[in-house]
């Protein structure tokens, strides 16, 4: 009975280790794909970022006025 429990624990540990390794590899793959996308479409990303600066400043101004009003 004790030996069966130990074997089941080893199987559970192996599944946890496999799951962790799979998650790490998947995370690294997403990181590589993300960096590749940023490098490949950097010009487009720069345009989007530049366009968002104005909207961010408008939002910051509205929040500042709302806080000052109180």
Tell me: the pLDDT tens digits for 19-66?
899 999 999 999 999 999 999 999 999 999 999 999 999 999 999 999
CA atoms within 13 A on the CB side of 61: 6
Cα–Cα dist 66/49, whole Å: 25
The verdict on pTM exceeding 0.75 is no
When pLDDT is cut at 50, 70 and 90, the band that residue 15 belongs to is: confident
How far CA 31 is from CA of 1, 19, 36, 52, 70, in Å, comes to: 45, 18, 9, 24, 44
Cα–Cα dist 62/66, whole Å: 6
Q: Tell me the domain boundaries of the chain.
A: 2-69
């Amino acid at each position: 009975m004790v030996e069966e429990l130990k074997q089941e624990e080893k199987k559970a540990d192996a599944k946890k280790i496999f799951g962790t390794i799979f998650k790490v590899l998947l995370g690294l793959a997403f990181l590589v794909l993300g960096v590749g996308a940023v490098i490949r479409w950097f010009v487009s990303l720069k345009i989007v970022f530049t366009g968002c600066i104005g909207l961010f400043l408008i939002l910051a101004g509205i929040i500042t006025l709302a806080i000052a009003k109180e």
